[in-house]
Amino acid sequence: MKSMAVHRFEPERFHNVFGGHEAVLSLSPGDLLITRTVDAHGVDSQMRQVAVRPNPLTGPFSVRGAEPGDTLVVQLEKILPNREPGWTTNAIDPALVDPDFARNVPEKQYVEWRVNKKSKSVFLTDAGWSLGRLELPLDPMLGCVGVAPKDGQMLSSMTSAEHGGNMDWCGCRQGVSLYLPVFNSGALLYIGDGHAVQSDGEIGGNGVEISMDVELSVDLIKGRETGWPRAEDDRWLYTLGNARPFFQALQHATTEMIRWLAQDYNLGFSEASILMSQSIRYEVANIFDPAYTAVCKLEKATLDGVLNS
């Protein structure tokens, strides 16, 4: 029987790329990590500037026994803002509107928000806008979760690929388990870029940017090939594709779901097609970063009749 160790890690140095660094801590499969992330501009829970832009990352954490070809499991046990003030900006990205409408996009300004953990809400505190009392449900997430990339690359914390990275998926929240392909010994996990809440698409280029307390446990699936990040919660299976154009991200996510249904549920292409064509849902995770992120999801209940047959 595995005994779970609990590690507390207070980050002092941060990275702006995935890959190329020595591990700051070594975890064993099953271990729990309690740590923190700073916001996208490097500001921490005490409003101190402790790191430089963009998206300073906590980590990397190595996982004992992880080798290329394995899958790293990252279970997100807790993601919670560790301060009250957050910020966004005031302009949907000009690439995301009709090109002849883009000249209407205003100059970028910062916008202030505040988290109320008691009421579980995030509300606009910036008086400069005619938005009354805009209040949204608190829904914390991590914009960046990933491992060291393949092919010896060091990739900016602004972008994403097979290794995960800056996927800015609002579904990357407490209660979700991520499955990431391992490309390097130890996997080397990085996290960062917390948002108190975020729309689909991250269309303004940010969620409510904030520093976070994070608790996660890690595990390994030895010899399991994962092409693109996968995730799971109580209700859904998720596959994530990262690419431009968005359609290619959709292709990756769709293909990865077909592969997963083949690996774990023994479905052929036709069977996966019949099932998926009437039941899957997509999410537009981000359409702002250098690589966009598409999510394909399948409700687990759909598989009940199939598996009991």
Q: Scanning residues 69 to 108, which ones bind its own copies (CB under 8 A)? A: 88-106
Q: Are 193 and 157 in contact (CB under 8 A)?
A: yes
Q: What is the CA radius of gyration of the chain?
A: 19
**C-beta of 177 vs 255, nearer to its own copies:** 255
Find the shortest distance in angstroms from Cβ 163 to its own copies.
13
Binding to its own copies (CB under 8 A): which residues in 117-136? Answer: 122, 124, 129-136
CA quadruple 183, 189, 192, 196: dihedral sign: positive
Q: How many CB atoms lie within 10 A of CB 126?
A: 16
Structure tokens at 114: 């505040």
Q: Are 33 and 218 in contact (CB under 8 A)?
A: yes
H-run or E-run covering 256: helix 246-265
**C-beta of 26 vs 109, nearer to its own copies:** 109
Binding to its own copies (CB under 8 A): which residues in 188-207? Answer: 197-207
Q: Are 189 and 19 in contact (CB under 8 A)?
A: no
Find the shortest distance in angstroms from Cβ 117 to its own copies.
17
**C-beta of 155 vs 220, nearer to its own copies:** 155
The b-or-e profile of 214-235 (16+ CB within 10 A means b, else e) is bbbbbbbeeebebebbbbbbee
Binding to its own copies (CB under 8 A): which residues in 205-234? Answer: 205-208
Find the shortest distance in angstroms from Cβ 166 to its own copies.
12
Binding to its own copies (CB under 8 A): which residues in 134-173? Answer: 134-136, 151-156, 158
Taking CB under 8 A as the rule, does residue 255 contact its own copies? yes
Find the shortest distance in angstroms from Cβ 150 to its own copies.
8
**In this chain, which stretch among 3-11, 56-64, 186-194, 274-282 interacts with its own copies, using CB under 8 A?**
274-282
